[in-house]
Amino acid sequence: MAAASLATEDEVRTEVRSWLESNWIDEGRGARWLAELVDAGWAAPSWPSRWCGRDLTPALSRVVEQELARAGAAGGGQDMVNLWAATVLSGGSDELKGEVLRPLLLGEINMCLLYSEPGAGSDLAGLQTRAVRDGDEWIVNGQKVWTSSGRSADYGFLIARTDWDVPKHRGITFFFAPMDQDGVEVRPLRQATGDSRFNEVFLTDARVPHANILGDQNQGWMMLQTALAYERSAMGQAGRRGRDQRAGAGVRTVDSDASAPVPDVSLIELAQRTGASSDPTVRQGLTRLHALTKVNEWNGMRAKAALEAGTSTPIVSLGKLAMSGILHSAASLQAEILGAEAMLGGSDHPVAADTTYALLNAFFTSIGGGTDQIQRNIIGERILGLPKEPEVDKDVPFRDVRTSIPGR
């Protein structure tokens, strides 16, 4: 293929199609297929060729993703939706990238986020988990909460305070922290849906290699913003990748942690089956849902271009907030279509049970990756230019900041 900067859309499209004709066989090849895709550079084509990519522009990367989707080939678009690998690519040393980047793309390393704390949720800069240097390692003590996948994770993205004599947004370091060690205890938290996908994590003299720092020491807040941008972008992209979720082709709403299996649900098919498709209010709801998802797709493309240009962009907050609204709207519309049946549940009423789950689980997106309220603040301040909220402790050394959490 021509040099990436000179390649045309037609050239890229032709090469992807040719490669798929020679390599793609939809026969459950699973891991072997994903390895071929990653090694060919098509899983994250906008990344450098040195790091499992093809040096393509964001626009051409989108062409690759379209062709993979057209063929029904899984594993594409990871330069946009793989939070873990994208963050390591942005801030990891060459040694760390060489060790974990490919396994992250292959899904061979399970990950979790060790950000929020009992006293530092929406204001992450108030975190009190501390890390102290001990030779080539850091010793970490503290508590994290709302940690998805904590029980199965091999590593976690950990933010900890490494300098208490500077204001709260400084003196934070971002680590790629091993979870399988005696100093890490994970306890599940039960949700209203019946799942236990969240956990609290207790760190007691846990150890992290100094080489596992992402970004610069004491500059973890900047690295965190990059990671959050990737996370919000990935959550917002769910609106495009699941474009037909509930409005079109069925998508299972309950994951493997759910208490009981339920059927896939398509809102269009459900409306047709129940006779609600002739209801103008339902038809308007379906159309509005499709429009919101389409607009979110366009915002996702804008965010992807900015992220791949190395810029942390507030546009991802638009996508993340929009995705929350899409999920809430879809769940409410499903309940409206079912009518009184939506109040039922159990194995005898699987669609109604799915509706209840969807209504409750929509709040997952409203909270995870930064609450809807936080996204509105970001949009107001960084996109609309509204004044920032006052921060009386912004320039105070963190050890002098008043806190209600004892034992700091």
Please tell me the predicted confidence (pLDDT) of residue 257.
Answer: 34
* Residue labelled with tokens 């429009």: 291
pLDDT tens by residue, 23-65: 998 765 678 999 999 999 999 999 999 999 999 998 899 899 9
pLDDT at residue 399 greater than cutoff 80: yes
Using pLDDT thresholds of 50, 70 and 90, give the confidence band for residue 188: very high
Please tell me the predicted confidence (pLDDT) of residue 172.
Answer: 98
Worst-scoring range by mean pLDDT, 197-206, 248-257, 269-278, 301-310? 248-257
Please tell me the predicted confidence (pLDDT) of residue 243.
Answer: 36
Q: Are 16 and 68 in contact (CB under 8 A)?
A: yes
Top-level class of domain 225-370: mainly alpha
Domain range list for the chain: 29-106, 111-219, 225-370
Please tell me the predicted confidence (pLDDT) of residue 119.
Answer: 87
Please tell me the predicted confidence (pLDDT) of residue 308.
Answer: 65
Average the pLDDT over 232-256 and give the result. 43
Three-state DSSP class for 16? helix
149: left (phi over 0), alpha (psi -120 to 50) or beta: left
Closest alpha carbon to 398 in 165, 219, 217: 165
**pTM for the full predicted model:** 0.78
Q: How far is CA 25 from CA 19, 38, 74, 207, 322, in A?
A: 11, 16, 11, 44, 35
pLDDT tens by residue, 252-269: 222 333 333 333 458 999
Using pLDDT thresholds of 50, 70 and 90, give the confidence band for residue 123: confident
Please tell me the predicted confidence (pLDDT) of residue 6.
Answer: 73
Q: Which sign, positive or negative, has the C-alpha torsion 91, 93, 96, 99?
A: positive
Q: How many angstroms from the chain centroid is the CA of residue 43?
A: 17
Which has more confidence, 258 or 173?
A: 173
Please tell me the predicted confidence (pLDDT) of residue 175.
Answer: 98
Residue 20 has phi, psi (to 5 degrees) of: -65, -40
pLDDT at residue 245 greater than cutoff 50: no
Average the pLDDT over 238-251 and give the result. 38
Average per-residue pLDDT in the chain?
A: 86
Using pLDDT thresholds of 50, 70 and 90, give the confidence band for residue 240: very low
Average the pLDDT over 377-394 and give the result. 88
Residue 246 has phi, psi (to 5 degrees) of: 70, -35
For 92, the token pair is 């990891």
What is the topology classification, in CATH, of domain 111-219?
A: Butyryl-CoA Dehydrogenase, subunit A; domain 2 (2.40.110)
Please tell me the predicted confidence (pLDDT) of residue 28.
Answer: 59
Please tell me the predicted confidence (pLDDT) of residue 318.
Answer: 87
Please tell me the predicted confidence (pLDDT) of residue 5.
Answer: 56
